[in-house]
Structure 1
Amino acid sequence: MGLRRHALPAGLAAVALVAGALALRAPASHGSTRPPAALAAPVLSPRRAPETLSRVVGDLRLRRDLDAALADPQLGAARSANCLVVDDGGRRLYERTPDASLLPASNLKLLTGAAILDRLGPGTRLRTEVRGARPAGGNVDGPLWLVGGGDPLLGTADFAASFERQPRQFTSLEALADRVVKAGVRHVSGGIVGDETRYDRERYVPTWIPSYVSDSEIGPASALTVNDNFVAWHPRHIAAAAPATAAAALFTALLRARGVDVDGSAAEGAAPPASARLATIDSATVGELVGEMLRESDNQTAEMLVKELDRRRGGRGSTVNGMAVVRSDLASMDLPLAGLATVDGSGLDRSDRATCRLLLSVLEHAPERAWLTRGLPVAAHDGTLARHFHGSVAAGRLRAKTGSLKGVAGLTGLAATVRGGTLAFSLLVNGLPHDELGVYLYEKVGGILVRYPDVPKPAQLAVPGT
């Protein structure tokens, strides 16, 4: 019994010793032509356990390389203000301050998206309506109301074409104008009135840095959002002072271009409950909207859908109450919420906090996680990763949510390894001296993850005939 009790630990110890040497040594020279000496493998040799040895060496090298990446002197104060967790099918490969409560930047959109998908359902659509009196002989007696339903991507073709990354997903306001014409409308005596009453009228989160507004990081919020509520975008973006009125004015122009006579000026107000529904257009599904939000890191979509969460539970469509729904929903998923603090859905606010443990848990355990992973941008291919990882082994293999604010970088997602595995990971870094270092770091970390396990294949470690 004594021999059997100590045989397994002795074997594992041998594996660990050899693994440590393999993990830390430099690659052997390939210049010698001398044939290798024949190996005689003892019964307890680690060479008789090649898969175990390969895994141990791979794990050790991964930890060494990730430790080195996060200790890079270039990172400055960020070396002590970061977290990173890496899982391999539920097996924790690496963990560094997983519960540190850090600025997540746009990685927060993963939490927002998880709650939106769970509460609204991935197949739900948001409807924009045109309401008014039914036309008699083509004439509408009184106004037509353009009623916002919270679609964050309602817009025109010229606005969609202005984006660098194409094609830009949008719900066509032109198509809605065509449907009004198809409904028989030829003259509107009371003008077009924009209705944004589905949500409150708070345009921006009060604690946001003013430059987010002045630099057009996000447009003013409204239940009737058209073209992100910008009235111009060349050479610079100009936000609408009154989004509902601006949307009504644009819709007026579209109707007139289609031969509809519209009297009067655009205005805003609530559509009468008894008014008839003359035309509608639906958004993409919520699953597709969340995918667009993650892929393009769309702040406007995030904040609009947060307001919709509040509206669906009977509220007035506010950010504060919508974020309460997000937290409540995440709690219902039994996720580790310690260290979470949120005031918006986009991650723009600098008081937002999250942990790597939570972000990874959402990606691995949220009920609609398939929709989350489907929406992640692919390295060197699309979305916010289109410009990154070119020439890297991670190109096309890594898909992840990016995050970036001044001094902050984040990357949470999946890495398809060169050996055919899949690693889930979350990285947050705060206190970067230069924002470019965020891209440098997550490209470095991404490459390390994709190459895992960076060791010979198990078959190459085995002794022939053993």
Structure 2
Amino acid sequence: MTSEEPPPPEREQTPAERAGATPLDPDLFRATAAQAAAQAVPKQQRNMSAEATEIAVVRRKSRQRHRSLDSSRSQSKRASRPWMIAAGCTAAFALLLAAVGYTQQVDTPIAAASGTPLVATTDVFSARRVAEAVVRPVAARNLDRSLQPILAKAPASTCLQIRDSNNPVFSYQVSEPLVPASNLKLLVAAAALDRLDPNSRLSTKFVTDGKATDGSTVQGNLYMVGGGDPVLSTASFAGRPDRAGQAFTDLDKVADQIYDTGIRTITGSVVGDATRHDGVRSVDSWPERYTTQGQVAPLSALLVNDGVDGSGTVVKDPTLHAAAVLTELLRSRGVTIESDPSVGVAPKNATELMQVESPTVSELVTEAVRFSDNTTTELLVKELGLSAGNSGSTAAGVGVLQEWVAASGLPSEGVSFVDGSGLSPDDRVTCAFLSALVASEGSEGEIASSLAVPGNPGTLDDRFLSEPLRSSLRAKTGTLLQVTALSGWLATAAEKNLGFSLLINTGSRNVNAADLNTQREVLQAMLSYPDAPALDTLAPLAPEPPKG
């Protein structure tokens, strides 16, 4: 017999060794792999005892900086630095070769907190270790595959952008400036909430230049001073079926309060004062039919019932009409008014009887967005002009909006406009701008909460009534003869909130059913996002005990 140990059994070659790589020391590599794996486990699993694998920690010595360093030492360090860099690079390259050589091995033991060796079941370079980075492009590619055939049938001037957590996941002609129609109201909403106090209100004041001689008679006029309230209305006007759900300031209650003060006679007249804003009633580029058809009221700081009289006709002078409506309300309650209603300016030393406040600016923004209220939007634009110390004009307000866009950080190239309601054919925005604006505040923000919902009062009350769109969609509509637009939020089947903007300009023809169907098909395709493997199916597998 001999005292020599029997030769160790031959180890199976690694793939790298079979390809010609230098054989590695297995024990050394396994120890190195154990150290790397231990650093990847949670901290609470790293508390190893002194008997566990030792890890040498090399601490870089701190160097004190002194201006009086010996020049010979400095030169020596500079001379040795290239050798140190070369040695470091060589060591790093050797470690990389070792990792590549052993990646394909089935059983790689790693250190565990309990001391029991485990085997990493997911390779170092597996896609499972970057699962989210794999899922996102797959989901975006599948969304693109669903949407491209739909958009191929749409008019040439169509754009669409979809965002997931403010990150674009689909973009189609997003930089092309298109007519937005009422989607432009989203810009006014955002700027109004930013530049005006969302909790502030617009006040209509009632003052007199005379005094109640005996508590019941006003010697002089009763002035109705407009404060820019766009929803001042009588109860009968606000109660019309087409006004259901809309905010309003009740002028009937004003008449009741004046009567309740004991006033029974006004020796002058009810005088309307709209000098808070300028006297420009519309925008030059609006077709005249917008006003005559009642799509927007004649703009005035003093406006009642959208400037519509009892016969349904839009009046030419909204200020005089407001004074006439209050005159009628007071007379119907038994107050004698000796002169006919008129238009004028309240004296600075007038005595205030009372004032009535509008809904808050925030509530007016909801009115403008959810019901696509052109008049409310345009009067907010004039208020924006006033807020900047300028006149209460459309031009001043548009200037404030342009400044807001420039400072917003949103993609503003190609964005231009001359009003706030989107009625002008000269307005232009991009899907990149609108989608970024929608996503900037998030799906739970104030603008998102003001959007129309299918089947509820608003511009979507008769659209997208079938599930799942009915309970998944919130959006701002936009409609002109050659424009249909939709921007907002869609909750997908996987409970993802996608912000989006879809603008369709039909050119020389009017919008038809096919264009509206394009909107529906786009939304239905979005519902499946993200169409990709679930993250938990791609995450690294849990380590297992070694086989055998």
TM interval, shorter chain, is 0.7 to 0.9
Give the AA of the match of 2:149. Answer: A
Q: CA deviation at 1:59?
A: 2.1
Structure 2 residue aligned with 1:431: 506
Residue 268 of structure 1: which of 343, 352, 356 is its match? Answer: 343
Structure 1 residue aligned with 2:180: 104
Residue 131 of structure 1: which of 182, 189, 207 is its match? Answer: 207
Is contact 1:402–1:410 with CA below 8 Å preserved after alignment?
Answer: yes
State percent identity of aligned pairs. 37
Structure 1 residue aligned with 2:460: 385
SS at match of 1:413: strand
SS at match of 1:425: strand
Residue 157 of structure 1: which of 194, 217, 235 is its match? Answer: 235
Is contact 2:492–2:528 with CA below 8 Å preserved after alignment?
Answer: yes
For residues 418 and 438 of structure 1, the distance between their equivalents in structure 2, rounded to whole angstroms, comes to: 24
1:123–1:369: structure 2 CA closer, same or farther, 3 Å change rule?
A: farther
1:19-418 matches, within 5 Å, as: 55-72=136-153, 75=154, 78=155, 80-132=156-208, 133-137=210-214, 138-164=216-242, 166-232=244-310, 237-365=312-440, 370-418=445-493
Is contact 2:307–2:315 with CA below 8 Å preserved after alignment?
Answer: yes
SS at match of 1:209: coil
SS at match of 1:399: strand
For residues 307 and 442 of structure 2, the distance between their equivalents in structure 1, rounded to whole angstroms, comes to: 33
Deviations 1:215-250 (A, max 9, x none): 2211211110101111146xxx41112111111111
For residues 333 and 363 of structure 2, the distance between their equivalents in structure 1, rounded to whole angstroms, comes to: 30
Is contact 2:443–2:489 with CA below 8 Å preserved after alignment?
Answer: no
Q: CA deviation at 1:198?
A: 0.8
Q: CA deviation at 1:196?
A: 0.8
Is contact 2:442–2:448 with CA below 8 Å preserved after alignment?
Answer: no
Q: CA deviation at 1:255?
A: 0.8
SS at match of 2:179: coil
Deviations 1:47-86 (A, max 9, x none): 89876665444322211112122112xx3xx2x2122111
1:277–1:49: structure 2 CA closer, same or farther, 3 Å change rule?
A: same
Give the AA of the match of 1:261. Answer: T
Structure 2 residue aligned with 1:25: none
1:199–1:393: structure 2 CA closer, same or farther, 3 Å change rule?
A: same
For residues 197 and 269 of structure 2, the distance between their equivalents in structure 1, rounded to whole angstroms, comes to: 36
For residues 516 and 525 of structure 2, the distance between their equivalents in structure 1, rounded to whole angstroms, comes to: 14
Deviations 1:420-459 (A, max 9, x none): 2211111111126442333222222222223312456556
User: Larger deviation: 58-67 or 435-444?
Assistant: 435-444
Deviations 1:90-127 (A, max 9, x none): 32211112211110110100111111111112111000
For residues 420 and 240 of structure 1, the distance between their equivalents in structure 2, rounded to whole angstroms, comes to: 49
For residues 134 and 364 of structure 1, the distance between their equivalents in structure 2, rounded to whole angstroms, comes to: 55
Give the AA of the match of 1:63. Answer: D
1:92–1:161: structure 2 CA closer, same or farther, 3 Å change rule?
A: same
For residues 131 and 299 of structure 2, the distance between their equivalents in structure 1, rounded to whole angstroms, comes to: 58
For residues 367 and 391 of structure 1, the distance between their equivalents in structure 2, rounded to whole angstroms, comes to: 25
1:91–1:366: structure 2 CA closer, same or farther, 3 Å change rule?
A: closer
1:139–1:281: structure 2 CA closer, same or farther, 3 Å change rule?
A: same
Give the AA of the match of 2:258. Answer: V
1:54–1:382: structure 2 CA closer, same or farther, 3 Å change rule?
A: farther
For residues 160 and 396 of structure 1, the distance between their equivalents in structure 2, rounded to whole angstroms, comes to: 28
SS at match of 1:379: coil
Is contact 1:118–1:367 with CA below 8 Å preserved after alignment?
Answer: no
1:165–1:273: structure 2 CA closer, same or farther, 3 Å change rule?
A: closer
Is contact 1:408–1:438 with CA below 8 Å preserved after alignment?
Answer: no
1:438–1:162: structure 2 CA closer, same or farther, 3 Å change rule?
A: farther
Is contact 1:54–1:458 with CA below 8 Å preserved after alignment?
Answer: yes
Q: CA deviation at 1:151?
A: 0.4
Q: CA deviation at 1:163?
A: 3.9
Is contact 1:356–1:428 with CA below 8 Å preserved after alignment?
Answer: yes
Structure 1 regions of 5+ residues with no counterpart? Answer: 9-40
Is contact 1:378–1:386 with CA below 8 Å preserved after alignment?
Answer: yes
For residues 210 and 421 of structure 1, the distance between their equivalents in structure 2, rounded to whole angstroms, comes to: 44
SS at match of 2:242: coil
Give the AA of the match of 2:366. Answer: G
Is contact 1:245–1:268 with CA below 8 Å preserved after alignment?
Answer: yes
SS at match of 2:201: coil
Structure 2 regions of 5+ residues with no counterpart? Answer: 1-95, 104-120, 544-548
Number of aligned residue pairs: give it.
Answer: 426
For residues 313 and 367 of structure 1, the distance between their equivalents in structure 2, rounded to whole angstroms, comes to: 27
Is contact 1:183–1:279 with CA below 8 Å preserved after alignment?
Answer: no
Q: CA deviation at 1:300?
A: 0.4
SS at match of 2:490: strand
1:116–1:338: structure 2 CA closer, same or farther, 3 Å change rule?
A: same
**In the alignment, structure 1 residue 443 sits paired with structure 2 residue 520:** yes
Highest CA radius of gyration, 1 or 2?
2
User: Larger deviation: 312-321 or 124-133?
Assistant: 312-321
For residues 273 and 139 of structure 1, the distance between their equivalents in structure 2, rounded to whole angstroms, comes to: 21
Is contact 1:363–1:369 with CA below 8 Å preserved after alignment?
Answer: no
Q: CA deviation at 1:214?
A: 2.9
1:367–1:414: structure 2 CA closer, same or farther, 3 Å change rule?
A: closer
Q: RMSD of the alignment, in Å?
A: 2.8
Deviations 1:147-188 (A, max 9, x none): 110000000111112242522211101111122123332211
TM-score using structure 2 length: 0.72
SS at match of 1:415: strand
